[in-house]
Amino acid sequence: NKPSLSQCYNLMDFEAVAKGVMKKTAWGYYSSASDDEITLRENRSAYQRLWFRPRILVDVTNISLNTKMLSTLTSMPFYVTATALGKLGHPEGEVVLTRAANMHGVIQMIPTLASCSFGEIVDAATDKQTQWFQLYVNKDREVTKKIVQHAEKRGCKALFITVDAPQLGRREKDMRSKFGGEGSSVQKDDDGVDRSQGAARAISSFIDPGLSWKDLPWFRSITSMPILLKGVQCVEDVVRAAKDPNVDGLVLSNHGGRQLDFAPSAIELLAEVMPVLKAQGLERKLEIFVDGGVRRGTDILKAMCLGAKGVGIGRPFLYAMSGYGQDGVERAMQLLRDELEMGMRLLGCATIEELGPHLLDTRSLGQH
């Protein structure tokens, strides 16, 4: 009794379908967030405290959603962000996202912890597609160097170093469903990986908690890809990154609420950050992206109004893939395209460049 794809009218509909069709362990891994999931909830509710200031009598016959992210011209102002373990949702895993992204001219960020091999995901892309690479930094820097240089050699156009995960967050839904041993009391499998703490903990033991600002010159020395920090959560760190010659951009993100609970939403942080960067003359130094809780075209427009270069979307595409494979992801992207076009028209903007803070009322933003 799964609804047909044409009965999915928005991105939330895919979540309901996924919950119904996915294995409990897989659902637990995708949907969970840390502790009481307050940040997860806040990621949605922050967008709901922002109101538009629509303009009338603007010629909106033709709407263009084209925009540039990190020098790449892209068809819409969002990208598929990195999410681990794609095969929990679909037997073919991340390449499903690659193919759907190609159909819509959307950029994909490849995760270090993909289920498919890196090569499979790169091979699945067409020549005109752009892929970025998300890096979890291995304690063994020789391994890290190999991974990064291989990504560059295979054509990845940017390096996103995840900086919000020196330890993976405690996601109780994921732990309760005991990934790898549903219903069993087995704590360790044959491979010696302790899965009793859920999927997230099982796969993350190699990540280096010693990673620090001091490592950034080294990254600059091993790659010429733009370097971005994914998971910046505080204005002071944004300013520091802006002054660091090794950083080209960042993603304001709380990892979809999966790391520190009570970390702020990216959109609220963006509203705080942009005026500070401007006041210090640093606003052109970095390309700033946001992710977390983006579910509607209007959410994307709000982020673009506040100065983001683009937004990342995670779970909705995983859910669409889990429910309907590539067709589902394509439909999710089409729904966003339709919502973006309508939103722009009703807001009185024909191009992405016309979006700006003058179109937003942020007065309610600080009221939690």
* Residues at the site binding ligand FNR, with contacts judged by CB under 6 A: 29-30, 43, 81-84, 111, 113, 134, 162, 230, 253, 255-256, 258, 291-294, 312-315
Torsion of CA 259, 94, 337, 21, to 10 degrees: -80
Residues designated catalytic: 136, 164, 255
Tokens of 237: 């760190």
Name the nearest CA neighbour of 248 among 108, 69, 105: 69
Q: How far is the CB of 343 from ligand FNR (least distance, A)?
A: 18
Q: How far is the CB of 43 from ligand FNR (least distance, A)?
A: 6
Question: Do residues 115 and 344 make contact, with C-beta atoms less than 8 angstroms apart?
Answer: no
Comparing CB distances to ligand FNR, the nearer of 112 and 326 is: 112
Comparing CB distances to ligand FNR, the nearer of 292 and 359 is: 292
Comparing CB distances to ligand FNR, the nearer of 34 and 129 is: 34
Comparing CB distances to ligand FNR, the nearer of 295 and 331 is: 295
Number of residues that make up the chain: 368
Tokens of 67: 């925009």
Comparing CB distances to ligand FNR, the nearer of 113 and 222 is: 113
- How many angstroms separate the CA atoms of 49 and 51, rounded? 7
Question: Do residues 266 and 252 make contact, with C-beta atoms less than 8 angstroms apart?
Answer: yes
Burial (0-12, 13-18, 19+ Cβ within 10 Å), 142: exposed
Strands 51-52 and 310-313 turn out to be: unpaired
The residue nearest ligand FNR at its CB is 314
Q: How far is the CB of 124 from ligand FNR (least distance, A)?
A: 18
Q: How far is the CB of 350 from ligand FNR (least distance, A)?
A: 27
Residue appearing with tokens 């992206």: 289
Q: How far is the CB of 85 from ligand FNR (least distance, A)?
A: 7
